[in-house]
Structure 1
Amino acid sequence: MSKREKKDIGGRLAGKGVFPHEMAFTLLIPLRNMFLSPRQLIKRLELNPSSKVLEVGPGPGYFSVKVAKAIPDGELVLADIQQEMLDYAKKRVDKRGLTNVSYSLCNGQTFPFPDEYFDRIFLVTVIGEVENQEAYLKEFLRILKKGGILSISELAGDPDKMSTTEIKALCENAGFTLDKIHGNKRNYTANFRKE
């Protein structure tokens, strides 16, 4: 890897935009539990064993394994715009023998799923990286079942972090209704319902 490539990766790591897959290993450090643990996230998602769940921007699968285990009769779909991230996540999932997980490489505009398919859609430190947030939210509204939850978590230290006020305005403008905010201003999960 050239100096220029390393500098570019470093800039993307510390700056705004899509998280570089070359640094995916940094997303697996246990220190993340201080901000949001998989157990906390699962509780906030209000899952049942047969939930159909979409995780958008799973990175290397930090939350994916625990979520898949929480829905043994359900389905977890991991969607990302970077094939490398899906490959990392698949390795972690396969290592644990989980069979209720599938993968979808997306184009950043549309999601290849039927209308009203998912019970839950969640993103952790992802929405701020999305270039066309309105298009994503329009798609989420389409593929989420009536009464389903869109869950957006934002954590301290993320250069793309959006405030609860920004997230609330964005999601309500797209047609979602705020259900509950967990955590605090630095580290939070905002759950929105599709009415």
Structure 2
Amino acid sequence: MEYSLEIDGTPETVPGGTSVLLLHPSTGETDRIDTDFLKTDTDSFLVVSTRTTAREVRQKLEYYDVDESRAEILDTLSIERGYSRRSSANVHYVSAPDNLDAIVEHVEGFLEAHDGKLRVSFDSITELAYYAGEEPTLEATKRILELLEAHDAVGLFHLSDEVHDERVVDDFRALFDGVIDLHEDDTVDVEF
């Protein structure tokens, strides 16, 4: 299965199983790239959010005119922070952002429950590493990438390159098929 990509500098299409790392400065405007990734050539998509709540993810999708009927959101923050939460058919929660097994299991459940062209956005690996540690996060990321490959899906994973040392960034970079490097001035370098 081929997936269209409508992100400047990337290939026009990529095969199912492709994973893309979005490297960005901590203040980088990633929403445009993320939503361009999600709204193109997609039957269903999952947003795993370790950085914002489900409500904030919904606002982003609405602002960028992404079809929310195709969305499923996994909110890893609200329970731990004590926010009120309303479960629905397309919003789910895990107890805390360091609950790596529950996050991986939810990604697997989403991929198994949906047909067609499936995308996963993971925002962000940096936040996950903050809560769970860099090595466990690296392992969990590998598990998710294996699931994408097994289910012919594609994924975009956010990582702030200012927060981690160069070795850690390189370790994550090595896992992915493509890297989009977003700079402070919103220009991008792309390597596939």
For normalisation by structure 2, the TM-score amounts to: 0.53
Q: How many residues align?
A: 146
Structure-2 separation of matches of 1:56 and 1:190? 25
Tell me which residue corresponds to 1:119.
Answer: 119
Percent of counterpart pairs with the same letter?
8
Alignment root-mean-square deviation, CA? 4.2
SS in structure 1 of the partner of residue 168 of structure 2: helix
For the 8 Å contact 2:53–2:77, the answer to whether it is kept is: no
Tell me which residue corresponds to 2:90.
Answer: 101
Aligned AA (1:178): D
Structure-1 separation of matches of 2:58 and 2:190? 18
Alignment partner of 2:169 out of 154, 167, 170: 167
| Unmatched tracts of structure 1, length 5 or more | 1-33
1:178 to partner: Cα distance: 3.2
For the 8 Å contact 1:121–1:140, the answer to whether it is kept is: no
Alignment partner of 2:39 out of 41, 44, 47: 47
Q: Is residue 128 of structure 1 aligned with residue 129 of structure 2?
A: yes
Give the structure, 1 or 2, with the largest relative contact order (CA under 8 Å, sep 6 or more).
Answer: 2
CA gap of 1:164–1:140, structure 2 versus 1, over 3 A, is farther
SS in structure 2 of the partner of residue 170 of structure 1: helix
SS in structure 2 of the partner of residue 103 of structure 1: strand
CA gap of 1:135–1:50, structure 2 versus 1, over 3 A, is same
Q: Is residue 139 of structure 1 aligned with residue 143 of structure 2?
A: yes
1:166 to partner: Cα distance: 2.9
Tell me which residue corresponds to 1:149.
Answer: 155
CA gap of 1:184–1:164, structure 2 versus 1, over 3 A, is farther
1:77-134 Cα shifts (integer Å, max 9, x gaps):
223165145846x57xx9xxxx773122156221333367152131234143132213
1:70 to partner: Cα distance: 0.9
1:190 to partner: Cα distance: 9.9
Aligned AA (1:72): E
**Larger Rg over CA atoms:** 1
Aligned pairs (5 A) from 1:170-189: 170-172=172-174, 176-184=175-183
Aligned AA (2:140): Y
Aligned AA (2:73): V
Structure-2 separation of matches of 1:81 and 1:100? 18
Structure-1 separation of matches of 2:128 and 2:184? 16
CA gap of 1:37–1:170, structure 2 versus 1, over 3 A, is closer
Structure-2 separation of matches of 1:39 and 1:180? 16
Structure-1 separation of matches of 2:189 and 2:77? 23
For the 8 Å contact 1:59–1:86, the answer to whether it is kept is: no
